[in-house]
């Protein structure tokens, strides 16, 4: 469905130094540097996948989304989406894609939300009945009925994001590009948006490409993760593969009664101990959690015990360190 091959994109940026004198000099004799935003980028995405496209600031995520949505032309390489080249067949292409940029609005700032939707209906030539049905359905699920007559500039960030998502789906696209879709949303709206993304993916087989710095979004939604750094793909796999490679540590929190003991088990480190509570880190490559629990129960009277996976956030931090990005 999406085939990206050897994409390259460079930007020429003016180098500026501080101070009025340097600014003046730069005006007549500008110094440039080249930023390689995409560096021989290749991947494939099948219909119905939800892909988390992640990487640190400046990695090239938005540039990729812009190329895939036809806004930006790469210097070289190919990109085929549903058989079309986005920047060459823009009019046909936009009918099949929906785009939400968390930081930017596709809705008109000064007019009520519903006016923007009506305009999108005309732009995408959506038949009246289909438009009404889709609009009713989406406004209900994302709970924006009361916002339809409010100008966009008067909406809070979270309210606007929900309206943006509805706007991007009015023409029932086959692919949805989401750039930071839950930015600024409260906990309730975040869950509503995530559930909604899952629903349209499952029921309508909408393919979703999601860029976010919010790892709980990735955990909740993505089947597959593509990690990009300095314009290159560094890792492509499932969250489980990532976990089994980098997340072999588990955290054990134990509440116990009247005991002082030394655990002294290989692969197990006590990270905190206060009163009758202890937190341990277990390297599952060296020892099974069940073995640790059984050893613990021999040495103390366990009252309560929880086992947690290493947070995905931590795993990603390690990945960024390992790849030095
Ligand atoms: N229009 C532009 N002109 C000059 N440089 C640009 C332009 N757009 C992007 N860049 C540069 O290209 C690189 C990749 O930028 P991009 O916006 O794709 O990163 P990103 O992964 O989306 O980052 P973030 O997580 O901060 O949004 C950065 O170094 C950025 O400064």
55 pocket-lining for ligand 1 (C-beta < 6 Å): yes
Per-residue confidence (pLDDT) for residue 198, from 0 to 100: 92
Least confident piece of the model among 63-67, 74-78, 276-280, 308-312: 308-312
Per-residue confidence (pLDDT) for residue 250, from 0 to 100: 87
Q: What is the Cα–Cα distance from 105 to 211, expressed in whole angstroms?
A: 16
R_g (Cα) of the chain, nearest Å: 25
33 pocket-lining for ligand 1 (C-beta < 6 Å): no
154 has a pLDDT exceeding 90: yes
Using the atom order of ligand 1, give the atom closest to the CA of residue 38.
14
| 162, 140 contact by CB (below 8 A) | no
Confidence band (pLDDT; 50, 70, 90) for 284? confident
So what's the ipTM on this one? 0.96
Least confident piece of the model among 163-172, 228-237, 255-264, 270-279: 255-264
35 pocket-lining for ligand 1 (C-beta < 6 Å): yes
Ligand 1 geometric centre to CA of 39 (Å)? 13
Per-residue confidence (pLDDT) for residue 285, from 0 to 100: 84
Instruction: State the average pLDDT over residues 15-37.
Output: 77
Instruction: State the average pLDDT over residues 245-264.
Output: 80
98 has a pLDDT exceeding 90: yes
Instruction: Among 5-9, 25-29, 308-312, name the most confident range.
Output: 5-9
Residue 265's contacts (CB-CB under 8 Å, 6 or more residues apart) are 287, 291, 292, 295
Domains and CATH numbers, the chain: 45-243 (3.40.50.300), 248-309 (3.30.70.250)
325 has a pLDDT exceeding 90: no
Per-residue confidence (pLDDT) for residue 141, from 0 to 100: 85
- Kindly report the protein residue whose alpha carbon is nearest to atom 16 of ligand 1: 60
Confidence band (pLDDT; 50, 70, 90) for 76? very high
Name beta bridge partners: 139: none
Instruction: State the average pLDDT over residues 59-87.
Output: 94
Q: What is the Cα–Cα distance from 72 to 9, expressed in whole angstroms?
A: 9
pTM of the model: 0.81
122 has a pLDDT exceeding 90: yes
Around Cβ 256, how many Cβ atoms within 10 Å? Answer: 19
23 pocket-lining for ligand 1 (C-beta < 6 Å): no
Instruction: State the average pLDDT over residues 251-269.
Output: 84
Percent of the chain with pLDDT over 70: 98
Per-residue confidence (pLDDT) for residue 49, from 0 to 100: 95
Per-residue confidence (pLDDT) for residue 170, from 0 to 100: 93
């Amino acid at each position: 469905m999406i085939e990206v091959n050897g994409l390259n994109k460079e930007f020429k940026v003016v180098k500026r130094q501080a101070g009025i004198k340097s600014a003046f000099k730069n005006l007549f004799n500008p110094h440039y540097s080249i930023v390689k935003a995409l560096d021989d980028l290749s991947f494939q995405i099948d219909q119905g996948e939800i892909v988390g496209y992640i990487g640190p600031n400046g990695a090239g995520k938005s540039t990729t989304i812009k190329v895939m949505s036809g806004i930006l032309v790469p210097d070289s390489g190919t990109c085929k989406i549903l058989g079309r080249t986005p920047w060459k067949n823009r009019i046909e292409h936009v009918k099949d894609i929906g785009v939400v940029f968390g930081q930017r609005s596709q809705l008109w700032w000064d007019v009520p939300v519903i006016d923007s939707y009506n305009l999108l209906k005309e732009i995408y030539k959506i038949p009246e009945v289909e438009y009404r049905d889709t609009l009713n359905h989406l406004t209900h699920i994302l709970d924006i009925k009361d916002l339809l007559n409010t100008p966009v500039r008067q909406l809070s960030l979270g309210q606007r994001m929900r309206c943006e998502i509805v706007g991007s789906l009015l023409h029932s696209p086959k692919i949805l590009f989401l750039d930071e879709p839950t930015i600024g949303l409260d906990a309730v709206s975040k869950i509503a948006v995530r559930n909604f993304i899952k629903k349209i993916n499952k029921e309508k087989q909408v393919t979703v490409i999601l860029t976010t710095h919010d790892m709980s979004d990735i955990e909740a939604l993505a089947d597959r993760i593509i990690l990009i750094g300095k314009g290159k793909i560094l890792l492509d796999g499932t969250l489980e593969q990532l976990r089994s490679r980098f997340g072999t540590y588990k955290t054990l929190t134990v509440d116990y009664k009247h005991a002082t003991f030394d655990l002294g088990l290989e692969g197990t480190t006590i990270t905190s101990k206060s009163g009758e509570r202890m937190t341990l880190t277990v390297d599952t490559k060296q020892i099974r959690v069940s073995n640790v629990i059984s050893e613990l129960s021999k040495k103390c009277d366990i009252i309560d015990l929880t086992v947690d996976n290493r947070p995905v956030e931590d795993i990603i931090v390690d990945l960024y360190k390992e790849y030095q990005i």
